[in-house]
Structure 1
Amino acid sequence: MTALQAPQVRGPDRRYLRDRVEAEAYVASVCFKHGPPRLHGVELEWTVHHTDDPRRRLEASHLAVALGPHAPRTLVKDSPQLPLPSGSALTVEPGGQVEISSLPQASLAELFQVVTEDHVFLAQLLRESGLALGDRGLDEHRSPVRVLDTPRYAAMEHVFEAIGPHGITMMCCTAGLQVCLDVGEPHTFADRWAAVSALGPVLVAAFANSSTFDGKATGWASARMRAVLGTDPPRSMPSAIVDDPATEWARRVLDTPVLCVRGEGERWQTPGGLTFAEWVAGGLPSPPTTDDLDYHISTMFPPVRPHGYLEVRYLDAQPGHGWVTPTALLAALMSDQGTVEAVLEACLPVGDRWLPAARDGLADRAIATAAARVLSLGADVLPSMGLPPDLTMAIVADLDQLIVRSSS
C-alpha cells in the first residue's frame, strides 16, 4: 500500500471534502477570523552556531543535549517538549534553526516582557553547550544541510530541489522575525490586509541584514527574502492586494499543488503537481478531509499568511533584542483605522516592489521615500502604545536612525 493510499485516522471533526466551493468556504472561515484587534504575538527564529567556530556543522545530537527537556519531538521523539519558562513554545527548523513562538498577549508591554525572558533563557541554555544564536536573517557561515530528518522536511526538500537551490537555502539557512496581528473586524480587515501587505517591501528594505551567505557577499540586501520568494512561487510569492482577500486566498490555496500526503511511514509520497482542488475533485483514491486541508495550508508561506490571524513573515531576524523595534512599529502602524489608511497612502505605490526591496534595500529611492513616511508615522504613534517610557524612547531612537538612512 502506498502512502497515498494509506488509511488515515479521522476524528469526528474531520469531515471529507468533495466540493471546491465547500473547501474554499472552509479556508476563508479558518484563515480570516474577525474581531476587534487586541492581541499580539511574535515568533523569533535564529540560526545556531558553535561559539568557537561558527562554520562548523551543527549536529542534531548536540542541539538535543543543549535544549534538554525543551527539545521538540521532531528532534527528540520522546521529549517532554516543555515550553520555555514564560510560556513560549520552542521548535527546531530543518537546518537546526531554533524558534520560539509566544503565547498571544493583550499588550505589547506584556509581549516584550515574556518573550525577552524566554529569549534570554534560550540563549543561556545554548551557551552552556557551546552554542550561540545567530544575529542575521541568513546563515553567514555555512551552506545548507538538513539537520532534521522528518517525513515533512524530506518531502519539502524533494519538491523544492526540482525547482532550484532557493528551497534548501530557505529550509536550512534562513531565520525570520514573524509578527502576528489580529485580522480585524469585517468592515476593516481588507484594509488591514492591504496595509500589512503593502508595507512588506518597505519593511523588508528597512530591516534587511542578510547580505552574506556561506561566507560570500550575495549582492542582495535581504538574500533571505530572495531565497523565500524563489523557493516555490505558488506557495511562497506575495498574495495580491485585493478588495476580497479571503476569497482570493481560498482560491490560491485550492490551486496550489499538494506538497505531500501524510502516511504511516517515514517517507511521504509527493503527488507531482496535483493541486488541492484536483484532490477534492477525485485526483487521489481517497478524498481529502478538513484536516488534510489544514495541513496543506501549513505548507504555504507567502510573506503575509492568514492563519486565523495575520502572520507577517517578511522580516529578517534581528540581532539581539532588535526584534522589539520592528514588532512595535508594525503594531503601531496597525493600531487604528486612520493610521492604516495613512500606511496605505504611503505604501501602495511600492507594494509590489518585493524583489527591488530584497536586492537594493533602502537604496531604492521609491521604497526609501515610503519608508521615511511610515517610520515617521510609527514614531508619532508609539507613545500611545502603552510601553514604558524608556522603551518607547529607545524604539523611537531606532526609528529616527532608520529615517535618516531612508532620507540620505
Structure 2
Amino acid sequence: MNASDIFSARRMPHDEQPARARNKAALVSYFKEGAVADPREIGIELEHFLVDGTGEPLSYSQPHGVRDVLETLSERYPDVTVHDGDLLGVAKPSMNVTIEPAAQLELSAGPFGSLDTARRIFDEFEADVADALQPVCGRALAIGYDPSGRAADKELIPKARYAYMNEYLSAISPWGPRMMRGSASTQVSIDYRDEADCIAKMRIASVLTPLFALICDNAAVFEGGPRPHACMRTEVWKYCDPDRCNTVPGLLDAPFGFEDYADYILDTPAIVRMDEHGEAHYDSRPFGEIHAETPMTRADVEHALSMVFPDVRLKSYVEIRPADSMPVPYAIAYAALIKGLFYDDENLAALEEACMQIGVRDVWRAKEAVMRYGYRAHVYGREAALIADELFDMARKGLAAIAPHEKALLDPLAALVAARATLADIS
C-alpha cells in the first residue's frame, strides 16, 4: 500500500448512504447522553515507558517484559482483558490498566471529584508498577517520547488494531509509527452540561493546545538523540494523519455542534472495522460508507469515536490530549489547571470570549511558534510566557471558588512556568 491508495479511492456521497441519518442521530444521541447537570469531575490517563535496570525498553513478549508486568499487576487488578491468549489489560474499580501500541503502560482512572483522591490512586499505581518491575530492576518512565532509540525498531503488541493502524499510517509518513511506538501522553477528560457547553470547552481547549503542550513539554530526546526543538509530540501529531489529527475541521467556526462532529466521524477513514464478533479488520473506507446501509450499534459508535485523534476529542466527555506524559505530581498539577480553567463559569466565559476570533490557521502558527521559541514564542499576538502566567492565575482563582484546598496542587507546574522552563529543559 502507498499513500495514493489511501486518498485516491472514490468517496461515497452522503445521499448514497441510506443509513447515514440514523447513524448521525446515533452519534448525536451518544454525545447528549454524556451531558451532566453539574460538571465537576476529572478523568486522567497517564502513559509510561517501561525499562529495565540498564535503561533498555521492555517489550511485550520478552521474559519479564510488559506481559509479565501485567500478569503481576493482575493480582491487585483482577479484572483482566485477554484476546487470543494475550493479556492486554487489567483493572479494578476506577482504575483501568492497558497497553499502547509498543507496550507503553497506561493507567486510565477516575472520574475524580477530588484531585487529592486522584493523586493517591496514581501514587498507588506507581508503587504497584515498581513492585512488578523488581525482577529486572526496572522503572516506569513518565516522559513524552521514548529516549531509547528509533521508534520504528520497537515491537508492536499482538493486537490486530495496531497492526492495521501501523500499515495505514506508515503509508502516509514516518510520523504515524513514531506516534504509535515512541510517544506517551497525559490526557485529561472533562464533563459538559449540554451541547453549547461542550462545544465551548472543545473550542477553548483546541485554542489552548499549543500552550498546554508547552507547559507540559517533557520530551528531551527524539529518536535516540537530542531533540531538534521543543514540544516534539506536537510535531508528531501535526503530521501523523491529516484526516484525524490536529483541530477538528470547522470546530473553530460558528456554528458548530454535535451534528457537525458526527459528520466528521462518519467522513473519516476507519482504518479498523470491527465485526459483530468483535474481531478487527482492515478497512480504509470512511465510517459512513462502512455503515452506509447498516445502522451503527453503540459498540460501532464507540469504536468510531476512538479512531480519530484530534487535539481535543469528543466521546461522552471532552478529552484534552496535547500534554506529554509527566511524573504524577505534574500530571495532577495539569489536571488542576484544567479543572480551574474549565469548571469555573467566570473563567470559562472569559476564555470563550478571548478565543472567539482565533481560527485553525492561528492554532497551527501557534504550534510552530512554541516548537521553535518555547516560552519566548508569540502566540495569538502575545508572548507565550505571559499567557501561561495568566492561565495559572485564572486556575488559582477558579479553584479558589470550587475546590480551594486543591490550589496547592498547581505548584509543580506553576514553578516551571515561573522559571520559564519545562520538564524537558531540566531532565
TM-score by length of 1: 0.83
- Asked if residue 142 in structure 1 is aligned to residue 149 in structure 2, the reply is yes
**Greater mean deviation of Cα atoms: 181-190 or 68-77:** 68-77
1:240-389 equivalent positions in 2, closer than 5 A = 240-242=251-253, 243-262=255-274, 268-272=280-284, 274-281=285-292, 289-347=297-355, 349=358, 351-352=363-364, 353-366=366-379, 367-386=384-403, 388=405
The question of whether the paired residues in 1 share the 8 Å contact of 2:40 and 2:343 is answered with no
The letter for the 1-side match of 2:299 is: D
Counterpart of 2:420 in structure 1 is 405
Rounded to whole Å, the distance in 1 between the matches of 2:186 and 2:282 is 29
Quote the Cα distance in structure 2 between the aligned partners of 1:29 and 1:288.
Answer: 12
> Structure 1 stretch 287-296 or stretch 151-160: which is displaced more?
287-296
Match of 1:182 in 2: 191
Match of 1:38 in 2: 40
Change (3 A) 1:254 1:28: same
Q: How has the CA–CA distance of structure 1 residues 80 and 217 changed in structure 2, closer, same or farther, with 3 Å as cutoff?
A: closer
The alpha-carbon deviation at position 337 of structure 1 amounts to 1.8
State the number of aligned residues: 382
Mark the CA change 1:340 to 1:281 in structure 2 (over 3 Å): closer, same or farther.
same
Match of 2:177 in 1: 168
2:400 maps to 1:392: no
Q: Any residues of structure 2 matched to 1:76-225 within 5 Å, and which?
A: 77=85, 79=87, 82-83=90-91, 87-144=94-151, 145-225=154-234
Segments of structure 2 that go 5 or more residues without pairing to the other structure are 1-16, 75-79, 422-427
CA positional deviation for 1:128: 4.4
Q: Offset of 1:188 from its aligned partner?
A: 2.8
Q: Deviations over 1:193-233 (max 9, x none)?
A: 22222221111112112242132123231212211222112
Alpha carbons 1:18, 1:287 under 8 Å: kept: no
Mapped partners of 1:280, 1:222: distance in 2? 38
Unaligned runs of 5+ in 1: 1-16
RMSD: 2.9
CA contact (8 A) 2:97 2:107 kept: yes
**TM-score normalised by length of structure 2:** 0.80
Q: Who is 1:21 aligned against?
A: 21
Q: For the Cα contact (< 8 Å) 2:53–2:136, is it kept in 1? A: no
CA drift at 1:146: 2.8
Deviation of the 1:279 alpha carbon: 2.5
1:49–1:132 CA contact under 8 A, matched in 2: yes
Q: Distance in 1 between matches of 2:377 and 2:82?
A: 41
In 2: Cα distance, 1:237 partner to 1:187 partner: 21
- How far off its partner does 1:297 sit? 1.8
Partner of 1:5: none
Percentage identity across paired residues of the two chains: 23
Asked if the contact 2:42–2:189 (Cα under 8 Å) also holds between the matched residues in 1, the reply is yes
